[in-house]
Every structure is written in structure tokens, then in C-alpha cells.
Amino acid sequence: MQKQEALERLHKIDQDIKHLDQVSALLQWDQETYMPSAAVEGRSEQLALLEGIKHEKFTDPEIGKLLEQLASDDKDLPDIERDFLRVFRKQYNRAIALPADLVTEAARAEGLSQAAWVEARKNNDYKTFIPHLEKMIGYAKKKAEYWGYSGHPYDGLLDIYEPGMTESVIEGVFVPLRDRLARLVQRIGEKPAPRSDFLSREFPVDLQAQFGEQVMKDLSYDFTQGRLDISAHPFTTTLGPRDVRITTRYFPQNMLSGLFSIIHESGHALYEMGFADHIRDTSLGDGASMGIHESQSRLWENVVGRSYAFWKGQYARLQGLFQSQLTDVSLDVFYAAVNRVQPSLIRVDADEVTYSLHVILRFELERKLFSGDLSVADLPEAWNTMMYAILGVRPDSDANGVLQDVHWSMGAFGYFPSYALGNLYGLQLWETLKAQNPNTERHIEQKNYVPVLEWLRSNVHIHGCRYEPGDLILRVTGRPLSAEPFIHYLEQKYGQLYSL
């Protein structure tokens, strides 16, 4: 077979797999939004069938033969094809590396583990979860061995979520970040808390939706290529090359929650909507990493959405919609409330300053679990002790401590760091963007977010996953991964807010 022919065939296979993923995404979207309750069992069988078909397509020996004919470093091929081959080959190698028995066995154990976690959390009974967590760690270690790694086994897992990232690189930025964040939180804690009583007033849900949708339009979210719906947990999902949908949920007495979920998910969606046309329906049409994806959602949610400039532009409209609720609340008071810092037990409820500390805690515990320095039985005590050390709060229960997240019960180790890396990448990008566009703040004040989006589009979105996150950040910002811009941003912003 000619090289060109082989490449075309590989692209066809790639597209079929992509389309199967999109179909599965629709099944899941529907399950979270509109599906009637009794349909859940049938839906999981449909998803399993598609998963099986995808696996069959992906592990077809034909792919191996095609890849043998096509070298990722073939100088005759255009850059984009070499990038495609690299990304496809990596996915393929990961798919075929694991013995089928292990995959089936681990999937079954995962199902049991998740069910056990749900029960353990409900009953605040960590002990019943111990054997499952031990098994999950065991499977993760085995998988890491099959996938291979150069440094620690943990690197083999990290690579799923952050291609090219290693434990030692993360450690190098997380440890100093932890100390400086903890100090910042402590200093803020010594100051009086800003007023925030008005946030728990009654905000009618239909008006919240109206405001949220207007913000989405302001952010250039394209409603001909997506939708906003309601689900128990907000998420973004891509159902086709021109179909990127988000969800949120509204609480009448917590207006900020629904709105900032909308901005966060819009950030994810704008990324997916921004892949170059010729890669969006291929394996390259994906986020560079979980961390880069989070950098986009968090940049829009926090750096833009919680900025003074943003609310200077948007607050009059918000006040217009919620006249009785916000009549006695000035822009400055609202801005301070939106950025209230409050150490708390639950990661997903954490503010911009404390959030990364929740993540670093998980990273440190994961490492110890994988190096053997911490046993599963001793995990809750280690969690609680570290929580108190870095955030000054101590869980009242394991349900509100070590059992709060679903990730470990699913064997998703190495995932957590991406959340905090997103903050770091985001501020590195933001610093560069601002240096190149000094009028950014003024534009945001005028509700003109186009320059920010355009910059992110042409520097980040358009590339999809052509570059690994480390390369992308270096390429765009001229610097390797660094926590400096993030911590600098926080110290400046919260220094002002809390008169530190």
C-alpha cells in the first residue's frame, strides 16, 4: 500500500472512532439531561455495546500494519500529519497495551468500587471502602506497568491526563505553591470577612438562566453549535464537529453557583469550538490535556469572570434583573462577595485561593499511596492532618473528608493535579496575553471579550492536542510550567481585596 493510501485509511478509522465517541457522548448527555428514569439500565447496555465496537475498531490489527508503514518522524509528511500520527499512535498503543482480561477485570472491580464508595460516603463508613481502594490502586499500578514510564509508576498514570508531565515536575511547582498559598490564606483569615448575606436571598431561577445565557452570548458562545441545559452536575460535552453543549444547575438561594458553572463550562466549550476546522473531527481535535482544558475554564470563570473589570461591565444588568435582591448592594460590595475566601472542607465548593490547596493535598497523598509510604488504612488520618496543616480546617467526618471525591473509587489516580495545573497554565497564558494586549482590562469593562477569545483561539484552541501541554505553554509564553504568575496574581488581587 502506498504511504498516502495508508494515511487516508488511518484517517478514516480515526474518524469512525471519533464519531463513535460523539455518539457515546450524546447517550451520556441525554442520560444527564432528559432521559426518563427507568431507561437507565437500557442506556448502560447501549453504552457498553458502543464501547465494545470502538474497542474492536481500535484494536484491529490493520491499524498496527498501517502504523508500521507510517513513521511519526517521516520528513516527507506535513507537520500536521506527523502530529496526527504521534497522537494516534499513542492512543493506539495505550489501547492495545493492556491484556483484555485485565481490562474486563478492572472494569468490573471499578463498578463494584464505585458502588461501595457511594455507600461508604452515605454511611460515613470508610472501612468498608478500604478493600476496594486497595484494589483500585493495585489495578492502577498494573496498568502503569503495561503502559510503561520512565521515572515513577505514578508518571504512567499522569501521562493519561497530562501528556509528558511527571511527578517530579509537579512536585517542583506544587510544594512551594502550597506554602505560599497557605500563608496567603492565613493572612486573609486574619482580616474581617466581606459582607455576603445578600447572596443567599431568593434569586428566581428563570432570571438566573436569562442572565447566564446573555453572558454566554457575550462570551461568543455560539448557540447554533451548542446548547445550555440543566443537569445535576455541570459539564461540557462534544457531540459532533459543530455540537458542543454545556449544562449547569441553579439554586434559588445561591445565584453565584449556577452562573459561575455556566462561565466555567463555557470556557471548556469555547476551547472545543475553537479547534481548527481541519482537525476538529480527528484525534487532534481534543484538548492538549486535562490541565490545559481546565486552564481555559478557570481563566474564564475566575480570571475574567471574578475580575473587577468583568463586573464593572456586567453588574448594572444583573442589578436590573434582580432589583429587589441587589438594591442595597454596590458594585464594590458585590465584587468583594464574589471573591470571598473561606477555607472549607469540600473541594468543589472552594474559592479561587483555597482551591489549589485541596488539589495539592490529594496529589501528595496519591504519591504516598503509590510509593508505599502511606497505607490505605492510614489515609483518613493523613488527609485530616494535612487538611488542618494547610487549610486550618479539620473534617468532621470522612464523608466530608477523604470520601468526598468520586475519582479514586474509579481508579482515576493522577487526575487531580490537572485541576491545579489548570490554574497555573491559565495565569501563565493570561500574563502573556496581557503583555501583548495592554488594553485587555478596558475591553472587559466594556463587555468586549472578543480580544481575549481571539488570542486564546489563535494561540491555544486552534492547535487542539497537536502539542503536549509543556510544549504548548513554552511555545506560547516562552517559559516552562511555573506557579509564579498564578501566585503573583492571587497575592495582588487578594492583597487589594483584603487590604493585606
Return the range that interacts with a copy of itself (CB under 8 A); candidates 85-93, 140-148, 154-162, 236-244: 236-244
In 3D space, the residue among 40, 37, 35 whose CA is nearest the CA of residue 229 turns out to be 35
Return the range that interacts with a copy of itself (CB under 8 A); candidates 21-29, 90-98, 205-213, 364-372: 21-29
- Residue from the set 121, 245, 268, 293 that interacts with a copy of itself by CB under 8 A: 245
Question: On the CB side of 443, how many CA atoms lie within 13 Å of its CA?
Answer: 16
CA 492 to CA 303: how far, in whole Å? 12
Q: Does 22 interact with a copy of itself (rule: CB under 8 A)?
A: yes
CA 106 to CA 146: how far, in whole Å? 14
Three-state secondary structure string covering 96-145: HHCCHHHHHHHHHHHHHHHHHHHHHHHHCCHHHHHHHHHHHHHHHHHHHH
Cβ-based nearer residue to a copy of itself, 28 or 69: 28
Q: Does 239 interact with a copy of itself (rule: CB under 8 A)?
A: yes
Cβ-based nearer residue to a copy of itself, 224 or 323: 224
Minimum distance from CB of 104 to a copy of itself (Å)?
17
- Residue from the set 50, 209, 412, 474 that interacts with a copy of itself by CB under 8 A: 50
Minimum distance from CB of 44 to a copy of itself (Å)?
10
Place of cell 472587559: 444
- Residue from the set 72, 196, 225, 342 that interacts with a copy of itself by CB under 8 A: 225
Contacts of residue 181, Cβ cutoff 8 Å, sequence gap at least 6: 353, 354, 356, 357, 360, 390, 487, 490
Give the count of beta carbons closer than 10 Å to the beta carbon of residue 369.
24
CA 414 to CA 129: how far, in whole Å? 20
Q: Does 240 interact with a copy of itself (rule: CB under 8 A)?
A: yes
Among positions 29-48, residues that touch a copy of itself (CB under 8 A) are 30, 34-39, 41-43, 45-46
- Residue from the set 6, 16, 134, 171 that interacts with a copy of itself by CB under 8 A: 16
One DSSP character per residue, 152-216 reads -HHHHHHHHHSTT--HHHHHHHHHHHHHHHHHHHHHHHTSPPPP-GGGGS---HHHHHHHHHHHH
Cβ-based nearer residue to a copy of itself, 229 or 471: 229
Among positions 269-308, residues that touch a copy of itself (CB under 8 A) are 281
Draw the binding track, 149-178, toward a copy of itself (x: CB under 8 A; -: no contact).
------------------------------
Cβ-based nearer residue to a copy of itself, 31 or 344: 31
**Quick one: 127 exposed, middle or buried, by C-beta within 10 A (0-12, 13-18, 19+)?**
exposed
- Residue from the set 20, 67, 386, 399 that interacts with a copy of itself by CB under 8 A: 20
396-409 core/surface letters (b: 16 or more CB in 10 A; e: else): eebbebbbbbebbb
Cβ-based nearer residue to a copy of itself, 31 or 91: 31
Cβ-based nearer residue to a copy of itself, 48 or 193: 48
3-state secondary structure of 10: helix
Q: Does 226 interact with a copy of itself (rule: CB under 8 A)?
A: yes
User: How many of the chain's residues bind a copy of itself (CB under 8 A)?
Assistant: 36
- Residue from the set 6, 9, 11, 27 that interacts with a copy of itself by CB under 8 A: 27
Minimum distance from CB of 171 to a copy of itself (Å)?
42
Longest dimension (CA), the chain: 74
3-state secondary structure of 359: helix
Q: Does 243 interact with a copy of itself (rule: CB under 8 A)?
A: yes
Active site residues: 265
Q: Does 205 interact with a copy of itself (rule: CB under 8 A)?
A: no
Minimum distance from CB of 249 to a copy of itself (Å)?
17
Cβ-based nearer residue to a copy of itself, 181 or 244: 244
CA 324 to CA 230: how far, in whole Å? 26
DSSP 251: B
Minimum distance from CB of 238 to a copy of itself (Å)?
10
194: left (phi over 0), alpha (psi -120 to 50) or beta: beta
- Residue from the set 1, 49, 175, 348 that interacts with a copy of itself by CB under 8 A: 49
Minimum distance from CB of 321 to a copy of itself (Å)?
22
CA 19 to CA 417: how far, in whole Å? 29
Q: Does 71 interact with a copy of itself (rule: CB under 8 A)?
A: no
CA 163 to CA 179: how far, in whole Å? 26
In 3D space, the residue among 344, 371, 347, 341 whose CA is nearest the CA of residue 359 turns out to be 347
Minimum distance from CB of 206 to a copy of itself (Å)?
13
Minimum distance from CB of 370 to a copy of itself (Å)?
38
**Binding residues for a copy of itself (CB under 8 A):** 16, 19-20, 22-23, 26-27, 30, 34-39, 41-43, 45-46, 49-50, 53, 222-227, 229, 239-243, 245, 281
